Chain A
């Protein structure tokens, strides 16, 4: 028979897994886009790296916005459990750098969230050279943010995941 605690663990682990899947999709889409703007391919075909860079970057914009918002919302939901069940044991175990980096992660997630309207607008006007530099800059910033969020989340889960 399943105890209430293990049921709760399963519940949060499922949400953490949903958060991971959304984050993976976001990471992939943003990395493709960032490569496409940083190292544009001017000749079709080529090897796997060239193909990775040769995606139709504008078509990713809406998906990136939707995935960022969904990942943010699911992460915000999990955060309530983190604050009680993960952060307090982290503090008790003197994992202060880990706790600090998680707080850093939450700030970066919000900073990325507020960039989305301009990011979407720049990509939906990809034919306009006036926005080229701003589009490149904001895409690279979002990609770096996303990698940071992903790595910190991954390390934190290894330190004390919800199954712990």
Chain B
């Protein structure tokens, strides 16, 4: 006779909440599309260097789009702009997915949500090649 409990205790056998948002098929289309396209959009944004804005921390100044390093302003920071570009692209694609019929949006393979961020890692490591090259020269 088995002494084990048939229903898993910890894997989420019961619903955490009955929130309307979590039950919405439109939100499902938005959330899954946002998360699937987010890592791809981020890699594309970094590769193409498309920040929405550039920030200069030494002077506290913001500039729209990409602004190169200026000796009078100190180093520039692009990561904030890249992150915002990614969020805007992923959100726009998520909104488009919400407008599609459910039979279309349901076909989105859900495993891409965890696969794309893993596949993004080699690109991210490659994008930091200047650091690794400098380290190799030591």
Contacts and interface: CB of A to CB of B under 8 A. Distances in A.
B135 A37 contact: no
A127 B14 contact: yes
Interface residues of A, number: 62
B114 A138 contact: yes
A57 B12 CA distance: 6
Interface in A85-143: 87-88, 94, 96-97, 99-100, 103-104, 106-108, 110-127, 130-135, 137-138, 140-141
Contact of A57 (B3, B10, B111): B10
A25 interface: no
Interface string A25-53: 00000000000110011111000000001
Contact of B11 (A40, A96, A104): A40
B42 A120 contact: no
B131 A97 contact: yes
B4 A113 contact: no
For chain B, give the interface size range. Answer: 35 or more
Contacts of A6: none
Given A59-B16, A103-B128, A114 B87 contact: yes
B22 A58 contact: no
Interface in B11-70: 11-17, 19, 21-23, 27-28, 30-32, 34-36, 38-39, 41-42, 46, 55, 57-58
A106 B117 contact: no
Which 7 residue pairs of A and B lie closest in terms of their CB atoms, listed nearest first? A114-B38, A126-B12, A100-B131, A137-B114, A124-B22, A58-B16, A118-B35
Interface of A: 36-37, 40-44, 53-59, 61, 76, 79-81, 83-84, 87-88, 94, 96-97, 99-100, 103-104, 106-108, 110-127, 130-135, 137-138, 140-141, 145
